[in-house]
Structure 1
Amino acid sequence: MDRISNLPDELLVRILSFVPTTKVAVSTSILSKRWEDLWMWLPKLDYGRKDCPVSECERLRSFLDSKLPLHRSPIIESFRLELSNSIIKPENINTWVATALSRSLSELDISLHDDTDPPKFPNILPSDLFTCKSLAILKLAGEILLDVPGGVSLPSLKTLKLQSVRYFNEETLQRLLSNCPVLEDLVVDLREFDEESAGKLTVAVPSLQSLSIYLFYYQDLDGFVIETPALKYFKLMDHNIIGHYVLIEKMPDLIEAYLEVTFTDLKSIFGAITSVKRLSICSEAIKKLDDDVVFNQLEHLEVCICTLFASADQLIELLKATSKLKSLGISFFDQHTPSGMVCWNQPTTVPECILSNLQSFSWSKYRGEPEERDVVVYFLKHARHLETATIKSSESSRVAKSEMLKELELSPRASATCQLMFD
């Protein structure tokens, strides 16, 4: 320990920056007089935890009230708080955040949990937050009221994540977004049963490159509008059973999209993402596509088996709109429960992408049901350029693996070089 203590302060602070939390870094002060105040030079501060006991939270409040104003680092790169607002008062958090902002803060991450019923939504954010020139990353989660003033200006903000926060009114989010000129990454996770969020969700950000939107089952929302011409990654999880409109402008630079949509009509969404190269989709709402919807850049398609519940014809409809598809995967997306397909009507025609371009086909959690087998056999029979067909069996299958493999191995294949791999 003496040899380490003889190292320069800058190097010791660097070593402390690798410990998991600031609490652990503070605990090193008991090692010797040499280490007593080193933690106060740390540029990254991480405090609290979700399951913090009352006594521990009280000690944390007292510690931050007394020690944070005395922190010696001239620049605080990141400040993270995970707290319970039933114990910590809003004015305490407001003061702590204001202190961090005064040190050229680059990243602010606050997660606030409330076990009261109904939960409170305090305004814990100081007004200085909305004019911070150095702030590049802002993450807010939980029972936080977001009330954006009229003079907001965040010229350096590139990443914004809003998870289950409450908005002061319908204009709050758009006012914030319209004053973030270099914003690149946005996540909006709207709360379930949040009557305050009723209205229209508008995301109009010319600089945005990544957008993730989560809408829950009973979200009281009139609809959403998206204008993001520079977008490269788009994720939409729309499980809202309440009808709402969708208006999405063209995304000509889109590379990857993930769509998990329960009831919303996909036509308006498909029309905006026709340039996508990688698409993952889970939806039973695919109907006959408009003739002008053509995915002329799509090379990789991942389809959740939920999409095939009503009919596998939906998959064929989607494949007809692709012309360059090289890879097709069928699987259950995260936390989706395996279930059987309803029917499989043998198509009278074969989509051109299957005949001319498809090189890779895979099926995860394959159960060997007749409808599933017929779909796999259909692709093996018609995909002339198929190189690999990978089948991964489901643990819940009622059909023996050996029987599944035998059925598929004996099925006709259009590609003489296709390798059938079974797990």
Structure 2
Amino acid sequence: MRIRDHSKTLKKLHLSLTSTHRSAPSVKKWIHLLLRPKLKSVPQIKINTWINAAVNSKVEHVEIYDKTFDKFSFEVPSCIFNCHTITVLKLSGVPVKIPYVDLPSLKVLHLNRVRFPNIKSIQALLYGCPLLQDLALKIWGIKYKRLSINKERLKNLISADVSFYLFTLESLSNVKALRIDTIGFSPLPDAIVFYNLIHLEISYYAYSSDGTILQCLRNCPKLETLIIDKFDWRVWRQPGVPQCVSSHLKEFHLGNFKGREIEFKLARFIMGNARVLETISIRRENTSKATSEQEIMLQRLSSCPKSSENCRLLFK
């Protein structure tokens, strides 16, 4: 493939590497310049040539996915991290080396199973994206320590999807939407308040003696949507109703519902105190349970007093 006219902007480069044979990966390629070559097997130097050509053509949107599970030794060329026109960058399954980063236009950065040489290279990458608004970061291959990043360096960040153990929460305290893997194994500092946060998703709220879900919610005074995929707690302590619950919370979703007493207490608390709640959604862990058990769960939930007259209960 040749791109001769560098005065034209390349809107999107999408590379997807898949392995059909042990030693010969295939590359599926979509480039939005009406160039759609059909390729079966190519060396890395050829792929680097395409990427360099895209960078020289002022590419705006780049997606590179390596689905060969290390059967193909592909490394993202460093020119990607110094392209002034890229606004969206999505990488998956690839190793990267980042000697220098300058991505002044980047607004969306999604990294999944990306392998960095060290923790400082992650910091360098984030510091090189001053306009970053949407961050998703799931990384492999290094011994992690928690990143402490000046929140002013991420002042434009609106949405973050990260592992809790990667960041100090203060680094993300400006965001409006936050998705984190785990909360509960470490205490949440009371001093950190998420004044802008309106959407919070937690994959696993784990048991910890150092904090409670209500302490977490007190640090999110404007929260409107709360999603907890798995809630694992032992003791319910209710020192008061957080401001977000009483005044702002509109949606609450609880997944992997086993019917444990602690789960009922959480649902009852939300329904009883959320005055503007519109939807409470409960998703069962095991849908194969006997119908009688399911009906008992639904009856218990339905009998909980609701502070909001407009609240809908969805039991899935």
- Normalised by the size of structure 1, how large is the TM-score? 0.56
Question: How far apart are 1:204 and its partner, in Å?
Answer: 4.4
Secondary structure of the 2:214 match is: helix
Q: Which residue of 1 aligns with 2:137?
A: 236
Q: Of 197, 200, 203, which residue of structure 1 is paired with 2:120?
A: 200
**Residues 79 and 397 (structure 1), Cα distance of their counterparts in 2 relative to 1, 3 Å cut:** same
Query: Unaligned 5+ residue runs, structure 2?
Result: 1-12, 27-32, 67-71
Structure 1 segment 14-413 matched on structure 2, within 5 A: 50-52=19-21, 77=35, 83=41, 90=43, 93-94=44-45, 98=49, 101=50, 108=51, 132-136=56-60, 137=62, 139=64, 141=66, 142-145=72-75, 148=78, 154-167=83-96, 172-175=97-100, 177-178=101-102, 180-189=103-112, 197-198=117-118, 200-204=120-124, 226=127, 228-237=129-138, 242-250=143-151, 251-261=154-164, 263-264=165-166, 266=167, 268=168, 270-285=169-184, 287-304=186-203, 306-310=204-208, 313-332=211-230, 341-395=232-286, 400-413=293-306
Mapped partners of 1:322, 1:96: distance in 2: 45
Q: Verify the 8 A CA contact 2:247 2:274 in the aligned structure 1.
A: yes
Query: Unaligned 5+ residue runs, structure 1?
Result: 1-43, 61-74, 102-107, 109-127, 206-224, 333-339
Secondary structure of the 2:246 match is: helix
Q: Which structure's relative contact order is higher, taking Cα pairs within 8 Å and 6+ residues apart?
A: 2
User: Over residues 189-221 of structure 1, what are the superposed CA-to-partner deviations in whole Å (9 max), with x where a residue is unaligned?
Assistant: 5667x8xx246214546xxxxxxxxxxxxxxxx
Secondary structure of the 1:174 match is: coil
Question: How far apart are 1:283 and its partner, in Å?
Answer: 1.1
Q: What RMSD, in angstroms, separates the aligned Cα atoms of the two structures?
A: 4.1
User: Over residues 138-159 of structure 1, what are the superposed CA-to-partner deviations in whole Å (9 max), with x where a residue is unaligned?
Assistant: 636351245648xx96444444
Give runs of ≥4 in structure 1 deviating > 6 Å: 44-48
Q: Verify the 8 A CA contact 1:344 1:375 in the aligned structure 2.
A: no
Mapped partners of 2:301, 2:155: distance in 1: 40
Secondary structure of the 1:200 match is: helix
Secondary structure of the 2:194 match is: coil
Q: Verify the 8 A CA contact 2:276 2:308 in the aligned structure 1.
A: yes
**Residues 131 and 247 (structure 1), Cα distance of their counterparts in 2 relative to 1, 3 Å cut:** same
Mapped partners of 2:289, 2:238: distance in 1: 27
Secondary structure of the 2:170 match is: helix
Mapped partners of 2:184, 2:141: distance in 1: 13
Mapped partners of 1:161, 1:234: distance in 2: 10
Mapped partners of 2:310, 2:47: distance in 1: 65
Q: Verify the 8 A CA contact 1:159 1:186 in the aligned structure 2.
A: yes
State, as a whole percentage, how many aligned pairs show the same letter. Answer: 21
Aligned residues: 288
Q: Verify the 8 A CA contact 2:48 2:77 in the aligned structure 1.
A: no
- Normalised by the size of structure 2, how large is the TM-score? 0.72
**Residues 82 and 204 (structure 1), Cα distance of their counterparts in 2 relative to 1, 3 Å cut:** farther
Q: Verify the 8 A CA contact 2:251 2:279 in the aligned structure 1.
A: yes
**Residues 77 and 419 (structure 1), Cα distance of their counterparts in 2 relative to 1, 3 Å cut:** same
Mapped partners of 1:260, 1:47: distance in 2: 25
**Residues 397 and 282 (structure 1), Cα distance of their counterparts in 2 relative to 1, 3 Å cut:** farther
Q: Verify the 8 A CA contact 1:344 1:371 in the aligned structure 2.
A: yes
Letter in 1 for 2:305: P
Letter in 1 for 2:136: K
